[in-house]
Amino acid sequence: MEGETVVARYRASRPVAGPLSVALAAILFLFAFWGLLAEFWARWTMEHSPFGYGYLVPPTVAFLVWRRWLVARREPVEAGRWPVWAGIAGAVVLHAVGVLSAVTALQSAAFVALVLLIPWAIWGGRVFRHLWAPLAYTATMVPWPDQITSRLLLPSQEASTALAVRMLDFAGIQSYVQSTSVYTPNYQFEVARACSGLTILFPVVAIAILNAMMVQAPAWKKAALVALALPLSVLANSFRIALIGWIGEHGGADLANRLHDSSGLVGVIVAILLLTLIQGRMGMLQYLPEYLPGGEQPAAEEGAR
Residue 298 pLDDT class (50, 70, 90 cuts): very low
User: Taking residues 215-223, what's their average pLDDT?
Assistant: 92
**Per residue in 115-125, pLDDT tens?**
999 989 888 88
pLDDT higher than 50, residue 1: no
The partner residues of 177 in beta bridges, in order of sequence, read: 182
pLDDT at 285: 86
Residue 198 pLDDT class (50, 70, 90 cuts): confident
Give the rounded percent of residues in the chain with a pLDDT score beyond 90: 37
pLDDT at 199: 86
Asked if residues 270 and 258 have their Cβ atoms less than 8 Å apart, the reply is no
Choose between 187 and 6: higher pLDDT: 187
CA distance 81 to 290: 29
Choose between 267 and 87: higher pLDDT: 87
pLDDT at 164: 87
Contacts with 228 (C-beta within 8 Å, 6 or more apart), sequence order:
208, 275, 278
pLDDT higher than 90, residue 96: yes
User: Taking residues 280-293, what's their average pLDDT?
Assistant: 85
CA distance 144 to 206: 13
Residue 287 pLDDT class (50, 70, 90 cuts): confident
Query: pTM value?
Result: 0.81
pLDDT at 105: 93
Choose between 288 and 2: higher pLDDT: 288
pLDDT higher than 90, residue 22: no
User: Mean pLDDT for the chain?
Assistant: 83
Residue 17 pLDDT class (50, 70, 90 cuts): low
pLDDT higher than 90, residue 59: yes
Residue 261 pLDDT class (50, 70, 90 cuts): low
